[in-house]
Structure 1
Amino acid sequence: MMINKEQVKRTTTIKPILRPSNRERRPQWALGYVDVAPLSNSPNEGYAFDPMLNLIHIDEKWFNHDKKTRPYLMLPDEESPQRNLQGARHVEKTMFLAQSPVREDYVAQRSSKNRPEGTELMRNIKVVDTNPPNSPNLNRLDLGTYLRTTMELIKVVQASFKELDIDTLDNIFITLQQVMECLLKCEGGNEYKLPHMRKAKLRREGRFPDSLILASSLYEEASSLVLHF
């Protein structure tokens, strides 16, 4: 395609159509990751996003061990391998999930047949928070962690985990906070262009943030919007 001097080449991304309920849920979810305490006594300094150091994103994705069409490099007199299955649904699949226990210590308030009053105990804390519907850009795994081949799946996943640089993870979580900030500006919509932060330059200069700061005015507007939904 020929481009003249007056034209600018741009790319666009197809985004999900958001229902009214989606637009309501998205700001609520994003505000849940903002510290409700301002940075100082001056409200003009804004509110900090949670650094998300204890946050785990799980992508419930099936990995197919084979695909319908597969190319082979063969000699001219070789026959193509015969591959038969009862149906496409019978392709062997694997799903990787992860979980990390979150617990708290507490003291028994009453005696029971199992333990006396005052016994120090431990219990699990439920911390599962599902993403808003039709919002793939609110899952860290869709913002920069991409999958490789499914051949020898377990070894490949382990290798990918070891190869993944810690700076890449930091970049993606900051990008997630950028997405949250943008959707709050759009009142829960997805009509935004993600701004460039020049993360590599910030890191070289020692100014890469642990978390982004949400402007006080935007926080107040978004909080008011959520109350009126």
Structure 2
Amino acid sequence: MVKDLTTTQRNQVVQFILQGSIDGKPKHGRILEAVQKFSTSRSTVTRLWRAARKQHQAGEVIHSVSRKITTKRRTRVHLDLTVLSNLEYTKRGTIRKLAVGLETSKSTIGRWVKTGKIRAHTSALKPDLTATNKLLRLRFSLESLELDRILNKIKFRDMHNTVHIDEKWFYITRGSHRYYLAPGEPEPHRTCKSKKFITKIMFMCAVTRPLIAENGTVLFDGKIGIFPFTIQVPAKRNSRNRQAGTLETKAIESITKEVIKDCLINKIIPAIMAKWPEGASKDIFIQQDNARPHILDNDPDFRKAASQGGFNIRLTQQPPNSPDCNGCMMEIMKFKGQNCYKILHMGKDALRRLNQLPQNLEVPVELIQGCIDYLNEMGNQDGITEIVQSLGLDEIEGY
């Protein structure tokens, strides 16, 4: 049975009934014949005939039109990767802009992103490296290697005897702070003379790599300490809070070499000597960045304080824009000191569950040789011989 008749079929039904009609009345059984001929229902044929009769009585032309709305099926839009790649980056920063550039809808763009046809990426600014920066980064990565003579492999140093120090600014308070209070508890009242000029304090943080036993016991957590740059000064005049001459703690706003030197000698070095685990090597390196207020290892006051109690503590400086983890160092060696790399996931969580997480990353000899050859080509040969000898590369045949 045909459910929906087209306009032509509807008019054929009406004409078929008219041909078997006398004075506008269909013969007996003509309606049933139309039902059988056009494979439709009796109600449909009756409805079409009544409508045609009304048109005839009104003096109109008998014409039956199908009420079915025919919709054209939309063709699926295909992604042209060439057009996408040729768009300027500024014209594809949002889904709305990308939809305009590709002349399609936002929902289509969202579907392509969800299915992986378009990849979302967040671009972060990186330091602009000079040729000297690249070579120093590469040398720093090479100098961080050592030869494991037991396994006869070259790995990054474990850094168990390296203390990392760095400065960090902190606001003494925040403009707004969330607290959870008990019902009826009074709300805390916090005041400040100016919300735009909240006092900042610089801290010096010192940490090293923790020592963990094979059974997972933490032998040394590696936390040396965090030390604020503050000073005790007497109050100049009386106030309702304190008497004149009362010592007040004030933040040191200008961090100079003398301030850094005092922190190293009177705070960091005593903390290292007090917390350093027994039995560990007392040849310790304090690694710092190349900020201007930092002192060098040849400072006489520092050397005197760093050589007490059997300790031999030395200062080392990282080069500008230097890496801070072995994964970065590995990529820097691959890209010859540049920073256009992307850190690959090692799957450390899975390795840790399987108890296969390595203590140090192994570095292929071919990669090290390529870096050394590149330094020689660039004329940066100072200390290359010592690196080759320390890593045992001079014993490799054909090197």
Fold-level match, TM-score > 0.5? yes
Distance 1:197 1:59 in 2: 27
Which of 151, 159, 169 is matched with 1:52 structurally?
A: 159
> Partner of 2:120 in structure 1?
9
Distance 2:173 2:328 in 1: 35
Counterparts of residues 32-111 of structure 1 (less than 5 Å): 32-36=143-147, 46-67=153-174, 69-70=175-176, 82-85=191-194, 88=197, 91-98=199-206, 99=268, 100-101=272-273, 103=282
Contact 1:185 1:218 in 2 (8 A): yes
Determine which structure has more spread, i.e. the larger CA radius of gyration: 2
> Partner of 1:217 in structure 2?
366
Contact 1:103 1:122 in 2 (8 A): no
Counterparts of residues 47-196 of structure 1 (less than 5 Å): 47-67=154-174, 69-70=175-176, 82-85=191-194, 88=197, 91-98=199-206, 99=268, 100-101=272-273, 103=282, 123-135=310-322, 138-139=323-324, 176-196=325-345
Q: 1:30 to 1:91 in 2, by over 3 A?
A: same
* 1:54 shift after superposition: 2.2
> Partner of 1:164 in structure 2?
none
Using the size of structure 1 for normalisation, the TM-score is 0.60
CA deviations 1:145-199 (Å, max 9, x no partner) are: xxxxxxxxxxxxxxxxxxxxxxxxxxxxxxx111101001111111111111111
Distance 1:204 1:64 in 2: 39
* 1:30 shift after superposition: 1.1
Distance 2:164 2:118 in 1: 40
SS for the counterpart of 1:21 is helix
CA deviations 1:86-142 (Å, max 9, x no partner) are: 983x714141333424746xxxxxxxxxxxxxxxx965424322222123xx23xxx
Partner AA of 1:202 in structure 2: L
Q: 1:48 to 1:185 in 2, by over 3 A?
A: same
Which of 118, 123, 130 is matched with 1:19 structurally?
A: 130
Q: Does 1:31 align with 2:147?
A: no
Specify every segment of 5 or more residues in structure 2 that has no aligned partner in the other structure, as ranges: 1-94, 96-109, 180-186, 207-267, 274-280, 284-307, 381-399
Distance 1:204 1:71 in 2: 38
* 1:52 shift after superposition: 1.9
SS for the counterpart of 2:371 is helix
Contact 2:351 2:357 in 1 (8 A): yes
Contact 2:167 2:202 in 1 (8 A): no
SS for the counterpart of 1:24 is helix
Contact 2:154 2:363 in 1 (8 A): yes
Distance 1:129 1:37 in 2: 23
For this pair of structures, how many residues does the alignment match? 167
Task: State the identity %.
Answer: 24
SS for the counterpart of 1:129 is strand
Contact 2:156 2:363 in 1 (8 A): yes
Distance 1:82 1:103 in 2: 48
SS for the counterpart of 1:188 is coil
* 1:223 shift after superposition: 2.0
Q: 1:196 to 1:82 in 2, by over 3 A?
A: closer
Which of 346, 353, 361 is matched with 1:204 structurally?
A: 353
Using the size of structure 2 for normalisation, the TM-score is 0.36
* 1:63 shift after superposition: 1.6
Question: RMSD over aligned Cα, in angstroms?
Answer: 3.4
Q: 1:219 to 1:70 in 2, by over 3 A?
A: same
